[in-house]
């Protein structure tokens, strides 16, 4: 069985971006051209508390995916505090024209003009937001009931930990790398956290995004575009096809490497990739399967691993010569016909 089918096209996507509608420095039109010119096919502009369809910018070879970013903090005014936990979620709309504002709370609406706000459909509680698992789970349920799938953003930046993430229900995917936070901290690559969640039986996918604001020039070391992306494996670039692929987990996270094929047949996991230094196959044990490029040999481009019946799950992580990773989601035993 193919886990990554080499015949299906892979579309490069940035699923986390900010424009001049919130705190970004580039307009939606500029962002589209930036990413198209760098080989991307999909962009979701996820402005803060500002649901907005950008389908007018979509064309036959570039798709704008409708979404927005929400956040929940533990102070009534909703202000940023550097030592305080918070949670950020990206909401992606099943219907490209869905601009419903979930759990409207006035202190959080910092960018949307009043005349736009007056026209927005609202859904859910409009009471003060509360940073508790109960409130956050209610928020996620409300978003799902109103046509969104919910992704979990930058756990390290948010100062959240394993127990926090374990308490959330209904999240479909977690950011493996948030590039803006990675640049500012060096720590927003979340492979270890993701493995821990899978080990505990948490079934969620993984993806990556830039979270770009573009306040710096392209030659600045902290320019926050084009560093972390998601490869979406889809039958086509029509909105419904791409949304379905993302919702089903037909995608993988990357900071550079490309995983061309991943198949499991008769207990052998076969992986084909762009040139790599290391390939790890995490399986829920203390000993992942692995292969490393030996000194003097060519980079690894394919490998086979014997998979034991005792595994909990499988997920592949590929590292290139610069230490950049590509990561598949976790595939549990019942998905692998074992």
Residue 32 tokens read as 């589209």
Q: Please check whether residue 215 lies inside any domain of the structure.
A: yes
Which helix (DSSP H) or strand (DSSP E) does residue 319 occupy? strand 313-319
Mean pLDDT of 179-192: 96
Residue 5 tokens read as 């089918």
User: How many angstroms separate the CA atoms of 8 and 226, rounded?
Assistant: 23
- pLDDT at residue 181 greater than cutoff 80: yes
User: How many angstroms separate the CA atoms of 131 and 75, rounded?
Assistant: 8
Looking at the 3D structure of the chain, how many domains does it have?
2
Least confident piece of the model among 19-33, 70-84, 220-234, 256-270: 70-84
Contact 6, 272 (CB under 8 A): yes
The answer to whether residues 142 and 287 belong to one domain is: no
Structure confidence at residue 69 (pLDDT) = 98
Q: How confident is the model at residue 80 (pLDDT cuts 50, 70, 90)?
A: confident
The answer to whether residues 78 and 115 belong to one domain is: yes
CATH code of the domain containing 275: 2.60.40
- pLDDT at residue 139 greater than cutoff 80: yes
The answer to whether residues 246 and 265 belong to one domain is: no
Structure confidence at residue 74 (pLDDT) = 84
The answer to whether residues 266 and 245 belong to one domain is: no
- pLDDT at residue 75 greater than cutoff 90: no
Q: Which domain holds residue 296?
A: 261-335
- pLDDT at residue 205 greater than cutoff 80: yes
The answer to whether residues 190 and 108 belong to one domain is: yes
The answer to whether residues 214 and 277 belong to one domain is: no
Structure confidence at residue 234 (pLDDT) = 97
């Amino acid at each position: 069985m193919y886990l990554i089918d080499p015949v299906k096209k892979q579309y490069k996507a940035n699923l986390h971006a900010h424009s001049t509608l919130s705190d970004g420095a580039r307009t939606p039109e500029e962002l589209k051209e930036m990413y198209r010119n760098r080989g991307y096919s999909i962009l979701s502009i996820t402005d803060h508390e500002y649901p907005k369809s950008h389908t007018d910018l979509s064309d036959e070879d570039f798709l704008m995916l409708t979404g927005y970013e929400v956040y929940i903090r533990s102070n009534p005014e909703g202000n940023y505090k550097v030592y305080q936990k918070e949670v950020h979620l990206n909401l992606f709309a099943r219907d490209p024209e869905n601009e419903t504002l979930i759990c409207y709370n006035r202190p959080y609406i910092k960018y949307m003009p009043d005349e736009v706000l007056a026209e927005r459909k609202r859904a859910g509680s409009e009471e003060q937001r509360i940073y508790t698992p109960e409130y956050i789970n209610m928020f996620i349920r409300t978003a799902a009931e109103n046509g969104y799938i919910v992704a979990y953003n930058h756990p390290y930046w948010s100062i959240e930990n394993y127990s926090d993430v374990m308490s959330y229900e209904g999240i479909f995917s977690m950011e493996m790398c948030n590039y803006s936070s990675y640049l500012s901290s060096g720590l927003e690559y979340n492979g270890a956290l993701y493995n821990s969640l899978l080990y505990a039986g948490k079934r969620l996918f993984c993806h990556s995004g830039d979270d770009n604001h573009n306040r710096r020039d392209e030659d600045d070391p902290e320019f926050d575009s084009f560093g972390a992306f998601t490869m979406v494996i889809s039958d086509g670039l029509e909105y419904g096809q791409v949304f379905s692929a993302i919702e089903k987990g037909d995608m993988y996270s990357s900071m550079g490497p490309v995983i061309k094929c991943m198949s499991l047949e008769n207990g052998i996991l076969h992986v084909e990739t762009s040139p790599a230094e290391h390939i790890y196959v995490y399986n829920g044990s203390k000993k992942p399967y692995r292969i490393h490029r030996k000194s003097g040999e060519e980079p690894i481009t394919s490998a086979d691993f014997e998979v034991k019946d005792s595994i909990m799950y499988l997920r592949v992580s590929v590292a290139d010569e610069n230490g950049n990773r590509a990561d598949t989601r976790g595939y549990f035993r019942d998905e692998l016909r074992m």
